[in-house]
Amino acid sequence: MDLNNLTIKKFHKGLLGKQFSAFEIAKAFFDYIEEKDSEIGAYLQLTKDLALLRANKVDIELAEGKKMEILTGVPLAIKDNILIENEPATAASKILANYRASYDAIVIKKLKKNNAVFLGKTNLDEFAMGSSTENSAFKITRNPIDLERVPGGSSGGSAAAVAADMAVAALGSDTGGSIRQPASFCGVVGLKPTYGAVSRFGLIAMASSLDQIGPIAKTVEDAAILFKEISGRDKLDSTSRDIEYGDELLNPKLENVRKLRIGIPKEYFIEGLDKQVSEAINLAIDSLKSLKIEFKEISLPHTKHALSCYYIIMPAEVSANLARFDGIRYGQTSDVNGKMSLKDIYLKTRGEGFGEEVKRRIILGTFVLSSGYYDAYYAKAQKVRQLIKQDFDEAFAEIDVILTPVSPTAAFKIGEKIDDPLKMYLGDIFTIPANLADLPAVSIPVKKTGGLPIGFQLIGKPFREADILGIGQFYEKL
């Protein structure tokens, strides 16, 4: 069975037309994953029993004439920091190697209500800390386009699974670009929704004021479909908002898209931007101009401080969130004996369970929150965050959408940056500001780049995912 370029829309049409059964497609995906994933390493574990059980249920309900929702039977991959009840949830860390989720994340509950099928849990940088999926405690994921290169991170496993046709679509999480950057590197679409548009309940937290769950898909339309189904208010997440996304999300009108003004921030086209990336972004701009959309140069002056600001706020929140992994509640070390003190248990569990990058960020976060340094670093970073938000607010008074590169480079080679954390961190320079400002942003592959995949980024006003997804859907039709 041909799984190549199978989208949510194509799957839904084929299922209703009885061209195949949900069980047949799920089985075909598992057969293909068994054949293909040994060289890519997108999945940490497969949820085969759960998937085939759910697919069989879909076929029975279809035979009974029950209504089939748009996501019914659709085979999805789920990043392994999102909980599925009774399934492993490791966050790619040794400290959670034997942990099984005791409940569903709210996004999973919503997808189960739609009778979606979960193929498995995908690899990531440990606790979502990284930009290459080389920081996983279990394996390195490779880019399906070029196996010598990284798929990006931290949602590299999800992006690789979609790009390699090992899932129709996937869920990832984005703290500073972890959906958009791997989507760009792998040539798929990745959406980071507005902070609060999607419930974070059941997401293993990294940095709570920055994390957001979002879709990775083959088309902008598929990303919009998946986003619409997982969005909405959740009483278990006080930061979530009750926003009603109407018909314009899935059925944008050209006349409305043409009314949108796109800003090009001069601070994003700087020295250090790879020539190939610059040329690709210009190709995307020229294509969008053919839609008769107005473009305007803008300035986001505090962008230059975004990276520094992020790498103070994020580690501080990491330090607080990962304190729960203490060997008592989570991550019990198997050979702890009764003579060990509580401090020794903590040291043993965390020393053996956390990887180098996680330890680095915990130490940095603890330092910036410590007495005498809180005001000098953390408090100041929060003030800079407000200035970055203010820049976007002022820009959005004149324009509706902002277009930027996703990453300064295309996918780099495995091992190229792993020993140089600062060089790795610089790769997030264009994605981080949207997280700091709580804005929606999408990475869309540039057409006909002639080489490695390169994405362009559209950043929208808060809860105006319809604007960036609308532009993206018409770009795909050009």
Kindly tell me the burial class for residue 137, based on how many C-beta atoms sit within 10 Å of its own C-beta (0-12, 13-18, 19 or more): buried
- Please give the Cα distance from 195 to 200 (Å, whole number): 10
Would you call 370 a catalytic residue per the annotation? Answer: no
Would you call 359 a catalytic residue per the annotation? Answer: no
Considering the candidates 79, 121, 228, 461, report the single residue annotated as catalytic: 79
Backbone φ/ψ region at 173: left (φ over 0), alpha (ψ -120 to 50), beta: beta
Considering the candidates 178, 231, 240, 443, report the single residue annotated as catalytic: 178
Would you call 79 a catalytic residue per the annotation? Answer: yes
C-alpha gyration radius of the chain = 21
Q: Which residues contact 61 (CB under 8 A, 6 or more apart)?
A: 68, 72, 115
Task: Kindly report the three-state secondary structure assignment for every residue of the chain.
Answer: CCCCCCCHHHHHHHHHCCCCCHHHHHHHHHHHHHHHHHHHCCEEEECHHHHHHHHHHHHHHHHCCCCCCCCCCCEEEEECCECCCCCECCCCCHHHCCCECCCCCHHHHHHHHCCCEEEEEECCCHHHCCCCCCCCCCCCCCECCECCECCCCCCHHHHHHHHCCCCCEEEEECCCCCCHHHHHHHCCEEEECCCCCECCCCECCCCCCCCCEEEEECCHHHHHHHHHHHECCCCCCCCCCCCCCCHHHCCCCHHHHCCCEEEEEHHHCCCCCCHHHHHHHHHHHHHHHCCCCEEEEECCHHHHHHHHHHHHHHHHHHHHHHHHCCCCCCCCCCCCCCCCCHHHHHHHHHHHHCCHHHHHHHHHHHHHCCCCCHHHHHHHHHHHHHHHHHHHHHHCCCCCEEEEECCCCCCCECCCCCCCHHHHHHHHCCCHHHHHCCCCEEEEECCCCCCCCCEEEEEECCCCHHHHHHHHHHHHHC
Considering the candidates 21, 93, 132, 154, report the single residue annotated as catalytic: 154
* Residues labelled as active-site residues: 79, 154, 178
